[in-house]
Structure 1
Amino acid sequence: MPINPQRFPRPVTSKTLLAAPVLGPALLLLVAAGTPAQAETPEEKGLAIAEEVDRRDLGFGDSASTLKMVLTNKQGQSSTRELRIQTLEIPERSEGDKSLVVFDHPRDIEGTAFLSFTKILDPDDQWLYLPALKRVKRISSANKSGPFVGSEFAYEDLLSQEVDKYSYRWLRDEPCGEAAQGLDCFVIERFPRYENSGYTRQVTWIDQQEYRPIRIDFYDRKDSLLKTLTLRQYNQYLDQYWRADDQYMVNHQTGKTTRLTFDAWEFRVGVNERDFNPNRLKRLR
């Protein structure tokens, strides 16, 4: 059942504005230049846009959602998984957010759990619990580009997108396209600064009205177009936070796709650090 955004009060907390997550020193740039569009160089402008995306999402605290994952192969055959995700916002800019994914259906994947602690430039901490093996497996920092449980999302795609994990460059302004008709977008490049990324760069379309990512093109280590993520059906919560209820990843090299459709979002549900403990993954239900 969809959540009524009006149930929740306006946010009362916020992250520090010193640096940040998905999509770094842009606060001074924004103050000095007025808007990202007035930044002097393509690199400054790209960074300022990314900072504004992050600034608008600060202070949500924590969130929870249920969703479906539909995997489709090149021949058009599909399978569906049901899962839930929780996120805990970490206010310090020097650290990233924490997230927990638990699969509920089908039976062969039920109870599988994935826990991630996003870091900035240090290796991210990620653990995967596989019920069939009855053990928690730590994901190697060298394996972040691997597919997450057979989907077209890589492990690194599931990390919170901290601003300081990338460097940036503004490319151009243009219409957002079919995914957000009638809106204009900033188009920026971002380049991973952390080790073992599977990508040389990502090209991101961000709408100029609400600063929401609309499309992301991922380029592999040979700088060839690998995947495209399209984000649609945005809804706003707490009068501030936008979430895309339809996230569609296409792998251009294999012809496979993965679609995530979110059923509901809740904020300020009361999760805390204890809920994000690797030792608890075996006991999740």
Structure 2
Amino acid sequence: MKKLIMTFFLIIVFVAFSLQAFAITADEILDEMEARSALNATQKSVGTMIMTDEKGKEEKRDLVMYSYDDSEDTENRAFIFRFLSPAEVKNVTMLSMKDGDQIYLFMPAFKKVRRIAGSGKKEKFAGTNFSFEDLSGGYSKDDYDATLMNDDDDENYILDLVPNDPDSDYSKLIMTVDKEKFYFKKIEFIDLDGNQWKVLEVQKVQEEEDGSITILKMYFQDLKDNSTSLVEMESVEKGIDLPSNFFSVRTIQRPEI
């Protein structure tokens, strides 16, 4: 009988250690999210942004985005974000390179490019409620100290992400990740005082045959100034041919890209 009890005990211990060994980590979740988004390295997206201020006034802007994402080397990640209309913001363009370490803003009215660095990343981009920090890069394990807060939910992982950047506006991000498709459903941005400041929610995605995920619609709220932005992509082209020097300061100064 004692032998049977001991055998049963050893089986329980083995199963417990096995489950711990195979449990996914926060860094592995972020890696998988990057892998799912980088299966098609180059991408062009055309869409709209509808901004609503605290008084309920709406403004619609047309936009185009080009991106390059290489899961083998996040330092090569880059994207260009340009407004196409209305006239007062036409061709205002942001360039992010080296996973958000280098950010440039082109203002056509001044015909000059400005480097955005340090505390400048806290500024809002072209009158939107997105800061340059919000737009500058992805969510890699190199940029955040990630902790898995909860995986008991059948559908989602909950991650706690503490920025490595000492100049960040946020003490942490709370990210809800889809367990099956590995994309973020929601991100809560927590300010330096520990209060919820902004919320980004993904409302529509498209799953490709290769398993990659394309975000088509998202809703961004700034809870402090009571403003919102609804971003929706109307067309997405993947695997497009782009020149090797496309993501450059020279490119964003062109009237057409």
Residue 237 of structure 1 corresponds to: 208
1:97 maps onto 2:68 in alignment: no
Alignment of 1:60-99 (within 5 A): 60-90=40-70, 92-93=72-73, 95-99=75-79
Residue 6 of structure 2 corresponds to: none
1:265 maps onto 2:242 in alignment: no
Partners of 1:245 and 1:262 within 8 A in 2: yes
Paired AA for residue 212 in structure 1 = Y
Alignment of 1:70-149 (within 5 A): 70-90=50-70, 92-93=72-73, 95-119=75-99, 124-149=101-126
| Partner deviation per Cα, 1:133-174 (whole Å, 9 max, x = no partner) | 111111122211221112121112212313311111111136
Residue 11 of structure 2 corresponds to: none
2-structure distance, mates of 1:221, 1:254: 17
- How far does residue 281 in structure 1 lie from its aligned partner after superposition? 2.1
Residue 51 of structure 1 corresponds to: 31
Paired AA for residue 188 in structure 1 = L
Change (3 A) 1:52 1:89: closer
Partner SS state of residue 122, structure 2: coil
Residue 282 of structure 1 corresponds to: 253
Change (3 A) 1:143 1:255: same
Name which of structure 1's ranges 188-197 and 61-70 shifts more when overlaid on structure 2: 188-197
Alignment of 1:236-255 (within 5 A): 236-255=207-226
Partner SS state of residue 125, structure 2: coil
Q: 4+ residue runs of structure 1 moved beyond 4 angstroms?
A: none
Paired AA for residue 61 in structure 1 = A
Partner SS state of residue 63, structure 2: strand
> C-alpha root-mean-square deviation of aligned residues, in Å?
1.9
Change (3 A) 1:157 1:118: farther
Partners of 1:54 and 1:163 within 8 A in 2: no
Partner SS state of residue 54, structure 1: helix
Partners of 1:143 and 1:196 within 8 A in 2: no
Change (3 A) 1:174 1:67: farther
Residue 144 of structure 2 corresponds to: 166
- How far does residue 184 in structure 1 lie from its aligned partner after superposition? 1.4
- How far does residue 65 in structure 1 lie from its aligned partner after superposition? 0.4
2-structure distance, mates of 1:191, 1:185: 19
Alignment of 1:7-22 (within 5 A): none
Change (3 A) 1:85 1:280: same
Residue 129 of structure 2 corresponds to: 152
- How far does residue 220 in structure 1 lie from its aligned partner after superposition? 1.3
Report the TM-score when normalising by structure 2.
Answer: 0.85
Partners of 2:79 and 2:96 within 8 A in 1: yes
Partners of 1:174 and 1:187 within 8 A in 2: no
| Partner deviation per Cα, 1:177-228 (whole Å, 9 max, x = no partner) | xxxxxx7111111111123211110000001111110000001122211000
Partner SS state of residue 40, structure 2: coil
Partner SS state of residue 225, structure 2: coil
Residue 9 of structure 2 corresponds to: none
Partners of 1:118 and 1:159 within 8 A in 2: no
2-structure distance, mates of 1:284, 1:195: 36
Alignment of 1:192-211 (within 5 A): 192-211=163-182
2-structure distance, mates of 1:196, 1:169: 21
| Partner deviation per Cα, 1:42-66 (whole Å, 9 max, x = no partner) | xxx2222222222323332200100
2-structure distance, mates of 1:252, 1:173: 27
Residue 183 of structure 2 corresponds to: 212
Give the aligned length.
236
Report the TM-score when normalising by structure 1.
Answer: 0.77
Query: What's the % identity of the aligned pairs?
Result: 21
